[in-house]
């Protein structure tokens, strides 16, 4: 094969040299060796990091490193700024936003993996990109190595979206997968995730659902043209899930538990939530284990006129791939870099969505409706289940099923230990009530009353049951 000559050189300014930033350097300095394909050769001209001497590539490229972000952004040779800083504290987001705005003012396009900055300051950033005629690319922000953003803005540009949902946080999925597989406690599964590099030392952004919330905000911008602020979405993490919940899910519900980000349209209203969800074993999402992500997209037109009603209802596109780690994220970043370089930068597909959809508005959290799983831990005495069911009835919530397993002494001991409950484990009673369709507001009001009862030992754990 003839050697391709005259590759176009694309020069990058890199902000960040952590897990993702280092992976970008590995590709450019190591595996790619300056080549990203037949037509492009990538070159890093400057790297910002706070502690350069501790970084892997400092020994061989010391002159490229700087402790001043402005030297990267203002570098006259940098064509594209790659922002891969990652944040540890909320106050850093404002600083990182200003880096992106400065790059636009300097005439540079930006590729970022920083979903938290876009989720919080997206409107301001996209307005600035339009003002200065520059592009912002953010494929790496949502699904790691999954090309979901480009698919939504390009492949599905003529589609009318109905819903987008799935597993978007690899840390949560790994922890839940291990709890299901081996019966580990939440704490033990999280420690293993940290040891394997799937969870940060401080995992709160992942385990509380903040990371998934930021990704869902970006997905709703792209798919529905609706930008929501953090806090508008109903958000629940995985920290209250216990091994016992998987026993009930499997033995009684023929289900497992997955942490999902969901946006469903119902006319002009968009119901959005991030939460653990009881997912049937026969649903594809139930098979996604470890740090893998899987995102479903459902459109009105994809089934076609000839499709029967069931095909129209269940028709989905599924995107599956590695959702965490430096390598997959770096691949997504560099994919955006190459796409920008080949298109010559400047204006591109609107990041605000497939098209303008001003008629969508977020549904109130209290109005979000569904069927629900509610797990209780109470004192073992007569009349409690009946009293709880009465309270749900007064709230106009119908009971679907009551699940109660015969627990071993060891299971009860581990449950009591996880909640630091005093007394003999045999004196506590766990059980589950599943509820027919109700709103979040109804359930919250009913559980507020139940929570004041003297027999309740632990705040009830509740989350949606998946229904196609």
Closest by CA to 289, choosing from 297, 281, 301, 298, is 281
For the entire predicted model, the pTM comes to 0.91
Contact 262, 273 (CB under 8 A): yes
Block residue for tokens 């119901």: 271
Block residue for tokens 């998934």: 212
Classify residue 376 by its DSSP letter. E
What is the spatial distance between Cα 165 and Cα 177, in angstroms, rounded to a whole number?
18
Classify residue 368 by its DSSP letter. -
Question: Could you state, in chain order, the average pLDDT of each consecutive group of 10 residues for the chain (468 residues)?
Answer: 64 94 93 62 95 94 97 96 86 94 96 93 92 94 88 87 94 96 93 87 92 95 89 95 96 97 90 97 95 91 56 71 83 92 63 55 94 97 96 98 93 90 86 98 98 96 91
DSSP three-state, residue 10: strand
pLDDT of residue 354: 44
What is the spatial distance between Cα 302 and Cα 353, in angstroms, rounded to a whole number?
18
pLDDT of residue 90: 80
Contact 298, 316 (CB under 8 A): yes
Burial 183-198 (b: 16+ CB within 10 A, else e): ebbbeebbebbbeeeb
pLDDT of residue 37: 58
pLDDT of residue 7: 73
Structure tokens at 305: 């006129």
Please report, in angstroms and rounded to a whole number, the separation of the first and last CA atoms in the chain.
Answer: 51
Q: Classify domain 154-320+357-362 at the CATH topology level.
A: Dihydrodipicolinate Reductase; domain 2 (3.30.360)
Where are the domains positioned within the chain?
Answer: 8-137, 154-320+357-362, 365-465
Q: List C-alpha distances in Å: 453 to 152, 380, 415, 446, 447.
A: 48, 13, 20, 12, 10
Active site residue 46: no
pLDDT of residue 428: 92
**Given the residues 55, 115, 215, 298, the one annotated as active site:** 215
Number of neighbouring beta carbons within 10 Å of residue 163 = 18
Domain 8-137 of CATH type 3.20.20.70: no
What is the spatial distance between Cα 410 and Cα 161, in angstroms, rounded to a whole number?
48
What CATH number should be reported for the domain whose range is 365-465?
3.30.70.260
pLDDT of residue 438: 98
Structure tokens at 166: 């799935």
| DSSP track, 268-282 | TEEEEEEEEEEEETT
């Amino acid at each position: 094969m003839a050697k391709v000559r005259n590759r176009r050189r694309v020069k990058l300014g890199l902000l960040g040299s952590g897990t993702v930033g280092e992976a970008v350097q590995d590709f450019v300095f190591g595996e790619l060796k300056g080549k990203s394909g037949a037509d492009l050769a990538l070159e890093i001209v400057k790297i910002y990091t706070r502690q350069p001497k501790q970084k892997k590539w400092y020994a061989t490229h010391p002159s490229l490193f700087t402790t001043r972000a402005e030297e990267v952004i203002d570098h006259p040779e940098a064509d594209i700024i790659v922002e891969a800083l990652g944040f540890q504290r909320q106050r850093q987001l404002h600083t990182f936003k200003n880096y992106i705005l400065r790059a636009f003012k300097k005439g540079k396009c930006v590729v970022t993996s920083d979903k938290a900055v876009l989720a919080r300051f997206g409107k301001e950033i996209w307005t600035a990109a339009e003002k200065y005629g520059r592009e912002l690319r953010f494929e790496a922000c949502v699904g790691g190595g999954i090309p979901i953003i480009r698919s939504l803005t390009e492949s599905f540009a003529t589609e009318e979206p109905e819903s987008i949902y799935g597993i978007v946080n690899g840390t949560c999925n790994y922890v839940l997968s291990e709890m299901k597989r081996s019966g580990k406690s939440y704490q033990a599964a999280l420690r293993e995730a940290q040891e394997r590099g799937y969870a940060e030392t401080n995992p709160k952004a992942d385990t509380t659902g903040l990371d998934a919330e930021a990704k869902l905000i970006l997905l709703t911008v792209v798919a529905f043209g609706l930008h929501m602020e953090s806090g508008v979405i109903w958000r629940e993490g995985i920290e209250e899930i216990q091994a016992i919940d998987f026993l009930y899910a499997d033995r009684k519900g023929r289900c497992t538990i997955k942490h999902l980000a969901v946006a469903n349209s119902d006319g002009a209203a968009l119901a959005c939530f991030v939460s653990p969800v009881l997912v049937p074993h026969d649903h594809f999402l139930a098979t996604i284990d470890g740090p893998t992500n899987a995102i479903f997209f459902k459109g009105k037109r994809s089934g076609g006129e000839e499709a029967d009603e069931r095909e129209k209802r269940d028709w989905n596109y599924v995107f599956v791939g590695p959702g965490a780690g430096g390598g997959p994220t770096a691949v997504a970043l560099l994919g955006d870099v190459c796409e920008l370089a080949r298109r010559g930068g400047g204006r591109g597909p609107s990041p605000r969505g497939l098209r303008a959809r001003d008629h969508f508005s977020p549904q109130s959290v209290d109005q979000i409706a569904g069927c629900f799983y509610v797990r209780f831990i109470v004192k073992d005495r007569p009349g409690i289940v009946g009293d709880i069911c009465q309270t749900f009835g007064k709230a106009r919530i119908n009971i679907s099923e009551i699940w109660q397993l015969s627990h071993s002494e060891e299971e009860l001991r581990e449950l009591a230990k996880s909640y630091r409950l005093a007394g003999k484990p045999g004196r506590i009673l766990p059980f589950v009530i599943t509820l027919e369709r109700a709103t979040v507001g109804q359930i919250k009001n009913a559980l507020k009353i139940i929570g004041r009862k003297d027999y309740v030992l632990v705040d009830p754990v509740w989350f949606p049951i998946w229904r196609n």
